[in-house]
Amino acid sequence: MALGEFELIERYFRVPAEARRAARGDVPLGIGDDAAVLAPPAGQHLVAALDTLVEGRHFVPGSPPDSIGHRALAVNLSDLAAMGATPAWFLLSLTLPDPDEKFLEGFARGLLDLAEEHGVALVGGDTTGGPLVIAVQAMGSIAPGTALTRSGGRAGDLVYVSGTPGDAAAGLQLVQRAGAAPQLDAAQGQWLSDRFHFPTPRVSLGEALVGIATACVDVSDGLAGDAGRLARFSGCGLIIDAEKLPLSPALVAYAGEPGARRLALTGGEDCELCFTVPPGLADALAARLVNVKCPVTCIGELTADQTVRLREHGTPLRIDSTGFDHFAHP
């Protein structure tokens, strides 16, 4: 017998979400009524983000269900992290072709494991039939006037990126070609595909950047594009030093060094943060990051002109019509 909507919500979402909701203590009413009732911390501002994943567009049909659940929440937590917010609650809109229990079990596990890791509570949602589409709305809080924006950067600010961008894009390529990459050992292949399937939203990094970073974006469309957007919103130009890009050993093994740099600059799907810090606060940043388990790397700086430039050891690199695709050798 097909699982009804009520049983589905009850079994996969309400019951597992209940303990987390109780633990938070700021959800007077969660899943089960017409709407959730939430108790934001007194004096804080609410921060909200929503991202939708469509099968075939944002994930490969047949992706592991736990990866789909993880990514649906991860991309939203990443958006909150880019604001410096502390995440608290989320809503889930689930459109399913059929109530496949194997899918639901894996999906709910991937989603709720990540929720557990970050102490966020699923407080409600909607369930309908149709092509597989997942939308999550995440909400959190921040002290008034302290949110990190895209527009606060100033010429001379140092530009940083977290983690090792490009890994997720390489992981997606591996998944699409079903894993055939003889240049990689098993651990390297696993690392790259995991960075695509289970990206890490940089929540504690975002929180630590409040009061230090002048601007921040999350890297979802490629580092060069997103950093360029930050620069434009800040009324600045940008210079990226290609030799400073943090490349994972797996990415270099997969694509070679020029290819790895190209993926790091143009690959999407990472949940990394790109942010700017005035040079005078670089030491304060390092002190803040002692307790944040996330590497960050300075890759360049904002400039007073309006252009986005790439250089290697001081020599300009050509940027052709396809973006940062062409690495001319000096």
230 binds, among ligand ADP, Mg ion, none (CB under 5 to 8 A by kind): none
9 binds ligand ADP (CB under 6 A): yes
Site residue total, ligand ADP (CB under 6 A): 13
Residues 283-311 as b/e (b if ≥16 CB within 10 A, e otherwise) read eebeebbeebebebebbbbbbeeeebebe
Please report how close the Cβ of residue 296 comes to Mg ion at its closest, in angstroms.
41
Please report how close the Cβ of residue 126 comes to Mg ion at its closest, in angstroms.
4
Binds ligand ADP by CB under 6 A, chosen from 47, 53, 115, 122:
122
Cβ distance 109 to 69 under 8 Å?
yes
Please report how close the Cβ of residue 114 comes to ligand ADP at its closest, in angstroms.
15
Name beta bridge partners: 140.
Answer: 47, 87
127 binds, among ligand ADP, Mg ion, none (CB under 5 to 8 A by kind): ligand ADP
Binds ligand ADP by CB under 6 A, chosen from 38, 92, 175, 247:
92
Binds ligand ADP by CB under 6 A, chosen from 25, 33, 56, 102:
33
265 binds ligand ADP (CB under 6 A): no
Element (H, E) at 143: none
Element (H, E) at 193: helix 186-197
Which DSSP state fits 75? H
- Please give the C-alpha separations between residue 233 and each of 63, 148, 229, 309, in angstroms, as whole numbers: 35, 13, 6, 16
139 binds ligand ADP (CB under 6 A): no
Q: How many residues does the chain have?
A: 330
- Please give the C-alpha separations between residue 24 and each of 18, 47, 125, 189, 207, in angstroms, as whole numbers: 10, 17, 18, 38, 19
Strands 121-129 and 86-96, sheet pairing: parallel
34 binds, among Mg ion, ligand ADP, none (CB under 5 to 8 A by kind): ligand ADP
6 binds Mg ion (CB under 5 A): no
Q: Binding to Mg ion (CB under 5 A): which residues in 245-264?
A: none
Q: What are phi and psi of 9, to 5 degrees?
A: -60, -45
Cβ proximity to Mg ion, 126 vs 320, nearer residue: 126
104 binds ligand ADP (CB under 6 A): no
CB atoms within 10 A of CB 240: 25
53 binds ligand ADP (CB under 6 A): no
125 binds ligand ADP (CB under 6 A): yes
Q: Binding to Mg ion (CB under 5 A): which residues in 95-134?
A: 126
Binding residues vs Mg ion (CB under 5 A)? 126
Binding residues vs ligand ADP (CB under 6 A)? 9, 13, 31-34, 92, 94, 122, 124-127
